[in-house]
Amino acid sequence: MAESKASKFLTGRLDKPFSKANMPKLISIWALFGPGLVWAGLSQGSGELIWWPYMVTKYGLFFVGWLIVFAFLQFWYNQELGRYTLLTGESIFEGWHRVHHLLGWFMFIMAIIFYSWVGGYLGGAASALSAVTNFPAGWDAASQGRFWSTVLIIILYLLILLGPVAYRVVEVVESIAALASFFGMLLAIVVTPAASAVVGEYFAALFQPQFGLPQGWEAADVGILITMIAYTGAGGFWNMAYSYWLRDSNWGMAKHIGRVTSPITGEEEAIPSIGVAFDPTPENLELAHKWSLALWVDNLFGVLLNLATIFLTSILSYGILRPKYLAGQITVEQMKGWKLVVIQGEWLAEAWGAVGRAVMLILGFFFLFDTFITAGDFFARIVSSNVYTNLTGEVKDKTKTWLSLFIPVAIGLIPFSYDPALLSKDPAMGSAAIIIGLVYGLAITGVSAFSATEQWSYRKTYYAIVTIFYAMGLAQLFLKKPGPLILLTGVTSMFIMVLACWVLLYLNWFLLPKIHPAGKHVRPNWIHFIILLGISIVFTYTFVWYLSVKFGF
């Protein structure tokens, strides 16, 4: 990526051999249980709270027959992401670099662009708190939202900074959010006659998939449909966080890899730049099989919990919000994006009036606020992994290294931060969106180059990136997202899903058996290959269909 070794970083692949150790014993899955629950908590964001309720409110139960199918597309994607980490102790981003450095750096750059405006999730959570508290009194809704967003950012930053182990902070926050959301929705259905009355009709529709498009279909919703398919779960880059969480939970060979610990309250643990593999002894292979079964259980739990949550949110929407929509009491505009979070206060208002509305808004808050802390943690890990493994100790010139990273990031950010409509309506805001994007890219790549040339530890790089991420979240409270970037993140999620599935087929079935000491023994069952191949084809078809409808080719 820089200096005399530039060709290696662009035309080669990560070829450092794995260290070797024995596969750790699996004492109990319950002692390790957590990554699947955290994944479910992360997944309960836009797809579960926004887009499924939107589609069910507008089009009834037409798409519900495909819900289970969409959910289990994510299961196989997760399983192969997790398998790589289980067998090597490496994150999936090291896997991308082992396929080819160009792939690894492409994923790195796209992640920087993708997470440049993720603070919107926190804005959605803040809108729910504003509606509940109407505080500070006398402020307009936008100002109240900024106030609560600022408070939340400060609290979450202190939690991630002071928690002894970074992953454990994320795990606790996500677990609380996931369980509070699930049981809150379940309670809402039980106590609301309008919702409980449609449960039978809803579950009957689950097993009656319909083809084509519903009556009254609007072409403008094609992007939402594709996003809904990708986000019936985490989707795109988000699923890759599962690999990191397995790593910090000490699953499989990751037991030999240190965790990210607080620079204030935690003891630093050694994190090697490459993974750890095992020889194909009978004991190691038996333990690897047990770990693989445990991965199935953890992954399946996360997918099922997320699926059950979608059942609940869409039942509530079908029973309560759809009649209001058909009666003209709710408009399409009110159902768009984070505005729907406030409208969903009607789920419990049907039963408990103002108190129920407030409880429901608080549950909507739990759905969304956790996504910000998860995004910051995951993004910091992406940057740290790419820099620590591929650049640290390899480059010495800060300026060349920084330019090598910043130029492609800027090329990606500028066109998608440039919003002609926003510039025409509000030139200052439109210009600020471009500038803040460039400052963000400059800061991330600057820290990356400095940490690589100064050979910072993984932990130091991680917390530096987390700090930038939270600072940018604060800055974004006073800006409007540029429209093209919103479109980009939606398109990117599905594209990354397509690309990652195809690459996983090569990585786990063909490359890993060649570079792992256990050889063919780490290759998954060929039935799994056929299933993932089918899923890859489905994602590819839906992405191409989306492009053909959206852009007319």
Residue-wise pLDDT tens digits, 501-538: 999 999 999 999 999 999 999 999 899 999 999 999 98
Q: How far is CA 421 from the centre of its chain?
A: 29
Flag whether 549 is in a domain: no
pLDDT reading at 351 higher than 70? no
Question: Tens digit of pLDDT for each residue in 153-177?
Answer: 888 899 999 999 998 898 888 888 7
Domains in the chain: how many in total?
1
- In this prediction, residue 300 carries a pLDDT of 92
Closest listed residue to residue 458, CA positions, set 393, 371, 375 = 393
- In this prediction, residue 6 carries a pLDDT of 44
Flag whether 46 is in a domain: yes
**Other beta carbons less than 10 A from residue 465's beta carbon:** 24
pLDDT reading at 257 higher than 90? yes
Torsion over CA: 367, 373, 375, 378 (sign):
negative
Q: How far apart, in whole angstroms, are the C-alpha atoms of residue 369 and residue 486?
A: 19
Find which of 196-205, 388-397, 431-440 is predicted with most confidence, using mean pLDDT.
196-205
Flag whether 447 is in a domain: yes
CATH number of the domain where residue 282 is located: 1.20.1740
Domain that holds residue 321: 3-524
Flag whether 534 is in a domain: no
Flag whether 538 is in a domain: no
Q: Which helix (H) or strand (E) holds 19?
A: strand 19-20
> 181: left (phi > 0), else alpha (psi -120 to 50), else beta?
alpha
Flag whether 532 is in a domain: no
pLDDT reading at 1 higher than 70? no
Output the DSSP codes for 267-296.
------SS-EE----HHHHHHHHHHHHHHH
Q: Structure tokens of 437?
A: 């994007």
Flag whether 415 is in a domain: yes
pLDDT reading at 180 higher than 50? yes
Predicted TM-score (pTM) of this structure: 0.89
209 vs 233, residue with greater confidence? 209
447 vs 543, residue with greater confidence? 447
Find which of 49-63, 254-268, 345-359 is predicted with most confidence, using mean pLDDT.
254-268
Q: How far apart, in whole angstroms, are the C-alpha atoms of residue 520 and residue 434?
A: 49
Burial of 15 (0-12, 13-18, 19+ CB in 10 A): exposed
Flag whether 373 is in a domain: yes
Residue 258 · residue 27 · CB < 8 Å: no
